[in-house]
Amino acid sequence: MVQSSVLGFPRMGALRDLKKANEAYWADKLSQADLLAEGKRLRLAHWKIQKDAGVDIIPSNDFSFYDHVLDHIQLFNAVPERYTSQKLSPLDEYFAMGRGHQKGGVDVPALEMVKWFDSNYHYVKPTLQDNQTFSLAEDPKPVREFLEAKEAGFQTRPVLLGPVSFLALGKADRGSSVDPITLLDKLVPVYVQLLKALKAAGAESVQIDEPVLVFDLRPEVKSAFKPAYEAFAAEGSAIPSLVVATYFGDIVHNFDVLPAFSQVQGLHVDLVRNPEQLEPVLKQLGPSQILSAGVVDGRNIWKNNFQKSLNLLQTAVKALGPERVIVATSSSLLHTPHTLASEKKLPADVYEWFSFACEKVKEVAILAKAVTAPETVRAELDANAAAMKARAESTRTNDPKVKERQAQVTDAMHHRKSAFETRYAQQRKHLNLPLFPTTTIGSFPQTSEIRVQRNKFTKGEITEQEYDDFIKKEIDLAIQIQDELGLDVYVHGEPERNDMVQYFGERLQGYVFTTHAWVQSYGSRCVRPPIIVGDISRPAPMTVKESKYAASVSKKPMKGMLTGPVTCLRWSFPRDDVHQSVQCQQLALALRDEVIDLEKNGIFVIQVDEPALREGLPLRKGPERDAYLKWAVNSFKLATAGVEDSTQIHSHFCYSEFQDFFHAIAALDADVLSIENSKSDAKLLKVFIDEAYPRHIGPGVYDIHSPRVPPESEFKQRIQEMLQYLRPEQLWINPDCGLKTRKWDEVKGALTHMVNAAKYFREQYSKA
């Protein structure tokens, strides 16, 4: 019989319950005991959802209060000494690593946080020492949660991040030079100890995730699988059987690693992202190994095409037999919203196109039955076929005017009028900026009052004029604070914006929106991605009114703030029936109109954020990556190239891991580039010297994901480090990212220190 499996379930709950509980705990409004109780309630509810849906193999240890990689850091006692020395409770130590801790005489920053592969989820990077040791936590979380499920009547399969992936995704701490993969011999015995404990608790099988297998692996990492999994195999029946899970790509290029898994029970592969790997993988399996076939998309919200999935599953069953095939989600459902049942305002026809986590677990169970006994789920199969047909024939998806405009795009539309040197000469004269200019990335705190007023306006409880007046007062406040701080280029603070992608999506044709479809981005931060259902166009200006007003009451240059086409695409749920390059060009044309309108209305600094450009990069080098970078760069340039030389184009990027596609960053031709950099080693900026980068750069000088306010000395230290790699006239001073999630006292404190540090260097260099 074909079984069904889910690789992981969303953690937040139907109403972002975990977010609310975490934030109440951080604000000292909820006790630790109550927070832990809420976590248990959510776990039990999520296991029940999957069991009631008919899923055969339900995961445990997929729940996390902050991040599953951070869970493993604490699980293996790989916590840096700067946290253990503070003598915090285990839970507070855990949160300190995730978000920093600055109270009760303790002041420690967070560990570095980066994107999880090519998703919008962020993980905390294991940060390892030259003298690193590992040991198993006294009360191991995977064992505790397995027993919790067992006591409640759920037989689960614990999920672990595998030892090779854990180390390969880590880094050496500042001041250390260790290559994390060389620590494998120290880590594997701790995994063995954990697996034995799970076996003793009653676990029959363990899902062990090795997602780095989809990367191009350096030899040291590739060769690490053999000793690790031989050590597991040597334990025989003393440990549970293992299913090695991969996702977000194919593993064909790493087939030479598979002999290391000859003794594991089975292998999971992502057949949504790379269905073509099915037949090669089938040929690689051992005579009794199972295939976990990831056919239900863990990354998007479209209803599964049952017929398409069944074609793949039947191929697998024909090759292996039903007992050796598991129908599974392609990855954890962490990246999908909780349930479609909460959506009461979606158009009826569109509603039938979607499937969220609670619906996807049902799809997995239905498909498992349909492979060998389709008559038992005939009604479900027929309904699915009808939904596929209705979407394919819908008039929502196609706009001839959009396609006509795309056909008229020329190469010249992708290029500024002059080279940077000519542009900058005009910008310097026009904007009158000092050395080391200071600015912020865009958003200021979204206070409870802002959210209340936006909610009232959405519900029709206040008029449009009343709401506009309120927004103007918030803009006035933001400008007053920037005056007091002494920043050089202002932003209006974005009080009118709910989200940097949703706000634009609501003003574009081709999108639909949800009310409760939240997805975890990091920690307690959740986003509600809009959904692209058809061709995209801009009916009217989207940001001009607020930016024009802000400029009219500002003493300094006002920066217009837009989200770039690649990020609008990547941080939406995109269509799966049209190539992403087509959708991105449509977004670029809409934004081009907006950029030109901003300039016409007196906005001469315009920031077009592309924090998702790195995220969208295909995980492996090759033709797919080259093609992506070509259309992504062209989309940005199409959006921004329509302005005069005297208008300064900025862009912002999350994370400084851009060495492997630096040529694309340079090709964007942005006048000023700001990057998230505060938790990265400043020497990563050396690439700007090596590549003789001519334009201006603002590496982030402090971490906005943490409530911690760095002292002025820390800002000076960061700027001094940056000046080892960047020319003084090239350097802008700014935070890592927008300040939407922070409180005003945190913002004022940090920006005061930042501006003072910039003034210090300005004075030093003016004397030189």
At 500-531, the pLDDT tens digits run 899 999 999 999 999 999 999 999 999 999 99
pLDDT at 662 over 90: no
Q: Which CATH number fits domain 3-14+52-98+109-393: 3.40.50.10190, 3.55.50.30, 3.20.20.10, 3.20.20.210?
A: 3.20.20.210
Of these residues, 516, 696, 705, 753, which one is catalytic?
705
Residue 266, classed as helix, strand or coil, is strand
DSSP state letter for 277: G
Q: Binning pLDDT at 50, 70 and 90, where does residue 767 land?
A: confident
User: pLDDT tens for residues 2-41?
Assistant: 999 999 999 999 999 999 999 999 999 999 999 999 999 9
Specify the pLDDT at position 335. Answer: 97
Residue 212 CA from chain centroid, whole number: 17
Report the C-alpha gap between 674 and 302 in whole angstroms.
34
Q: Binning pLDDT at 50, 70 and 90, where does residue 655 land?
A: low
pLDDT at 331 over 80: yes
Q: Binning pLDDT at 50, 70 and 90, where does residue 384 land?
A: very high
Report the C-alpha gap between 261 and 228 in whole angstroms.
10
pLDDT at 312 over 70: yes
Specify the pLDDT at position 683. Answer: 67
The verdict on whether residue 54 carries a ligand-binding annotation is no
Specify the pLDDT at position 705. Answer: 83
Q: Binning pLDDT at 50, 70 and 90, where does residue 768 land?
A: low
pLDDT at 656 over 60: no
The verdict on whether residue 441 carries a ligand-binding annotation is yes
pLDDT at 199 over 80: yes
The verdict on whether residue 443 carries a ligand-binding annotation is yes
Q: Which CATH number fits domain 400-766: 2.60.40.2310, 3.90.550.10, 3.30.1370.160, 3.20.20.210?
A: 3.20.20.210
* Six-digit token string for 190: 């701790």
Strand partners, 522: 525
DSSP state letter for 101: E
The answer to whether 3-14+52-98+109-393 and 400-766 have equal CATH topology is yes
- Mean pLDDT over each residue of the chain, to the nearest integer: 95
User: pLDDT tens for residues 123-173?
Assistant: 999 999 999 999 999 999 999 999 999 999 999 999 999 999 999 999 999
Please tell me which residue, 675 or 16, carries the higher pLDDT value.
16
> 650 an active-site residue?
no
> Strand order of the sheet with strand 205-209?
3-5, 325-329, 290-296, 266-270, 241-245, 205-209, 156-161, 58-60
Specify the pLDDT at position 50. Answer: 98
Q: What are phi and psi of 123, to 5 degrees?
A: -120, 155
User: pLDDT tens for residues 555-595?
Assistant: 999 999 999 999 999 999 999 999 999 999 999 999 999 99
Mean pLDDT of 460-471: 96
Specify the pLDDT at position 710. Answer: 94
Specify the pLDDT at position 657. Answer: 67
pLDDT at 624 over 90: yes
* Six-digit token string for 524: 């307690």
The verdict on whether residue 442 carries a ligand-binding annotation is yes
CB atoms under 10 Å from CB of 406, counted, come to 14
The verdict on whether residue 148 carries a ligand-binding annotation is no
Q: Binning pLDDT at 50, 70 and 90, where does residue 306 land?
A: very high
Specify the pLDDT at position 257. Answer: 97
What are the residue ranges spanned by the domains of the chain?
3-14+52-98+109-393, 400-766
* Torsion, CA 727, CA 731, CA 736, CA 740, rounded to 10: 180
- Rounded to 10 deg, the angle between the 580-600 and 623-640 helix axes is 20
The verdict on whether residue 568 carries a ligand-binding annotation is no
Specify the pLDDT at position 659. Answer: 74
